[in-house]
Structure 1
């Protein structure tokens, strides 16, 4: 039986948070993330299914994994309106219900900040990707500015409690590289709301290739 998790308060608030973010620029970020994606896609932590409408005709199937039941129900509704086939499944990023080397693309979109075991999740992404596949990621990061990072570290305990486990202080791009992925494209930016930075403003969008298979 697939594992689930429950964040009832966050799950009720997140659709409003996402709508606000989309009104201020995240729609364009999602389009950038998914432009040119093709083949079979595995999306980890699909949330409400906000990415589904951005998959183009080159995508033949999306397998969307989401452990939070309230968010998963919203994702199922979004899947019905998607222009590509989307299957929404319960499960964890650390234990994807997907076969080895069966995905052309793995998508991590504003989710690696919340996952308990990021190395395990990235190892799973590498497992399910074809050798020619790609990891597409859109995440907020710990700041490389010392003063801003101190603020993130100060706010992080409360942020995690209110944000469904979201961490402000993760260096997700470095974690991807440490997991053996080769980062081929990357764009760093500050996601500003009305010209102002928030605690989660430092962001990255990129594409990485999976680790090469090791011969015994």
Structure 2
């Protein structure tokens, strides 16, 4: 991921983040409790919104994003530890976390299956997985458009895939949906899942 993308990410996302997205994130993250792992923390937009976590371990593979997130880390009311790592190879022991958080990150993770297996490994039995992701839409015309635009979009937005079926990937791996909601028709999903393993 480039330094330019990291530098301008907050600017381009600001219109969405200042309206609906902030409310979605705030409500979702109120359920993040205990020892929390955040995948792909990006520029740290979630950091000030944690209220019930004991501590958040925020992993991010892009050092430029980590550098951008330091100012938001200072706004957090819970301890945040930032770690340069990828979702496919988490530097933590089995059953380490009460809650795992992923917001607008699974569109860019290269190996989704490997990342989900890592989440299952580090999340405690019956632990929570909290998701806020954009996904492939159910409408046939719109989903075909997503598929067609994805190759170009990936180049422009540093690997972002428009047509990922993220929730399906999680349930295929045996994670149980506890709560589920959709926004902007069904372009964005919010879900709480349980690690049954």
With the shorter chain as reference, the TM-score category is over 0.9
Query: 1:44, 1:111 within 8 Å by CA — same for their partners in 2?
Result: yes
TM alignment of 1:1-216, pairs within 5 A? 6-56=1-51, 58-190=52-184, 202-212=187-197
How far did 1:164 drift? 1.3
The more displaced of 66-75 and 103-112 is 66-75
- Length-normalised TM-score, structure 2: 0.95
Q: Distance in 2 between matches of 1:148 and 1:36?
A: 32
Partner SS for 1:116: coil
How far did 1:20 drift? 2.1
Q: Distance in 2 between matches of 1:21 and 1:100?
A: 36
Deviation string for 1:116-170 (max 9, x for gaps)? 0001101111111111311000000101100111111121111111111000011
How far did 1:80 drift? 2.1
Query: 2:128, 2:195 within 8 Å by CA — same for their partners in 1?
Result: yes
How far did 1:15 drift? 1.4
- Length-normalised TM-score, structure 1: 0.87
Query: 2:6, 2:68 within 8 Å by CA — same for their partners in 1?
Result: no
Q: Distance in 2 between matches of 1:142 and 1:165?
A: 15
How far did 1:12 drift? 2.0
Q: Distance in 1 between matches of 2:70 and 2:118?
A: 23
Query: 1:75, 1:88 within 8 Å by CA — same for their partners in 2?
Result: no
How far did 1:81 drift? 2.1
How far did 1:174 drift? 0.2
* Structure 1 residues 111 and 29: alpha-carbon distance in aligned structure 2, compared to 1, 3 A threshold: same
Partner SS for 2:159: coil
Large movers: runs of 4+ above 4 Å: none
Q: Distance in 1 between matches of 2:90 and 2:75?
A: 24
Q: Distance in 2 between matches of 1:165 and 1:29?
A: 24
Query: 2:32, 2:101 within 8 Å by CA — same for their partners in 1?
Result: no
